[in-house]
Structure 1
């Protein structure tokens, strides 16, 4: 049987047996329901009964869909709070926009320009599987302490991590923000969830996050958020240098440059900030 004959054997949906059409319809319905649940949870954690009510679905159906999504890490269940929330794989999937040629063609020249202006290492990062993934980097001085693109960094101890954590609608310190233990990397790492929560409120209010030798001694970092076309914070841009170069005065001066670079990438790629200090 040749290719032409194979094409002739394919049937349109309307010509398929009734059971096959019904199965296809059930699959589409389940997919639509799952997407509706993800949209609900994107606004913040919910109890099962609240998800069920908002999705207009029976609790048993809602629970079945949630457990299926949980298996794919698209949602997660906080047993302490008894809440369902968006899972880490949603961030990984959403981070795919960073691989678009259009976005990278906008972001790369801007971070290279910022590296040239500051003489420091400028990085672009996203949240993926509970860590910060460095997707691009521009480096001008070999003495600048940095880690290479493709590396994963802890969220709680990095400026980019704090920026992305601060974008969460829920800044309560329960369950260490869903990322397990807050490991101590240096004497300055914030390991107390309550202290970190307070820090994240400051980051959200100011629009800038600082890593003050919290991930590596002798290194400081400034980061600002990048927003997508929905107004969500989906990435961060950072400037990293030695502590001797990034003095308190330098941090104050460079913070505006980092924020401006992030805002320019946001605008040029079609994104926007929903409202001031909302991330």
Structure 2
């Protein structure tokens, strides 16, 4: 019954019209009616109706025998992108990472001496640290913080290291400013950071930066896991490649 209902509600002409738009998008130089009919698997009469409808509604333009998409489609995309944050659209990518390891995947930006969570896909395991969108954590002892700090300008980083409040959260927290500077340098050189029980005993995390088209780091994403489940070596071997794939997908989708 459910399949029949779906078939009854399916608008085949809309589906074919959207397919015609996708084909036009792949041919920015334009296409003739005959070329569209062949690629879309339509009759010439059918292709003509779709192309003329798109032209009449402003979604396509015609120049001689050539049809191409119009800028009107960009206005729709702009409205769509403006109605939600980047992280709304990145959530499926982060959810895939979290699902691979059954652990939380998070995103954060730098705000003063802290990182602020802007997206979070929870894992199934409960941590004593309460985390949600808007949570602030000290940048010096978090993997996303180390990554974000590693891309600061030299003067900004020098000021952070001189002025930031460096608290000991666990016996493993790096509190020496010299040692912290080395850890931040390592994050810059490697393109990732691992923090091993410095924020909370029993918690490890690994992070990579998210960069815009100019190469500027605008955020970071990480996976946080219980130390009993993942060693540092396992995080670098297994989780880091998945994070780098997610980083590439997010950057390509939003910034390329």
Normalising by the smaller structure, the TM-score range is 0.5 to 0.7
- Aligned-partner Cα distance in 1 for 2:166–2:82: 29
1:119–1:140 CA contact under 8 A, matched in 2: yes
2:107 alignment counterpart: 124
Distance 1:173 1:126, change over 3 A: closer
CA offset digits 1:29-53 (Å, max 9, x no partner)? xxxxxxxxxxxxxxxxxxxxxxxxx
2:181 alignment counterpart: 197
Q: What is the RMSD of the two structures over their aligned residues, measured on CA atoms?
A: 2.3
1:158 alignment counterpart: 142
1:149 alignment counterpart: 133
- Aligned-partner Cα distance in 1 for 2:179–2:110: 21
Aligned residues: 174
Query: What's the secondary structure of 1:269's corresponding residue?
Result: helix
Structure 2, unaligned stretches of length 5 or more?
1-80
Is 1:187–2:171 an aligned residue pair?
yes
Is 1:263–2:221 an aligned residue pair?
no
Deviates more, 1:212-221 or 1:146-155: 146-155
Query: What's the secondary structure of 2:165's corresponding residue?
Result: coil
Correspondence for 1:226 among 210, 233, 236? 210
Q: Report the TM-score when normalising by structure 1.
A: 0.57
1:86 alignment counterpart: none
Correspondence for 2:97 among 114, 119, 123? 114
Distance 1:179 1:162, change over 3 A: farther
- Aligned-partner Cα distance in 2 for 1:105–1:150: 14
Superposition deviation, residue 148 in structure 1: 2.1
1:101 alignment counterpart: 84
Structure 1, unaligned stretches of length 5 or more?
1-97, 272-279
1:155–1:162 CA contact under 8 A, matched in 2: yes
Q: Report the TM-score when normalising by structure 2.
A: 0.62
Superposition deviation, residue 101 in structure 1: 2.1
- Aligned-partner Cα distance in 2 for 1:128–1:172: 13
2:205–2:224 CA contact under 8 A, matched in 1: yes
2:113–2:160 CA contact under 8 A, matched in 1: no
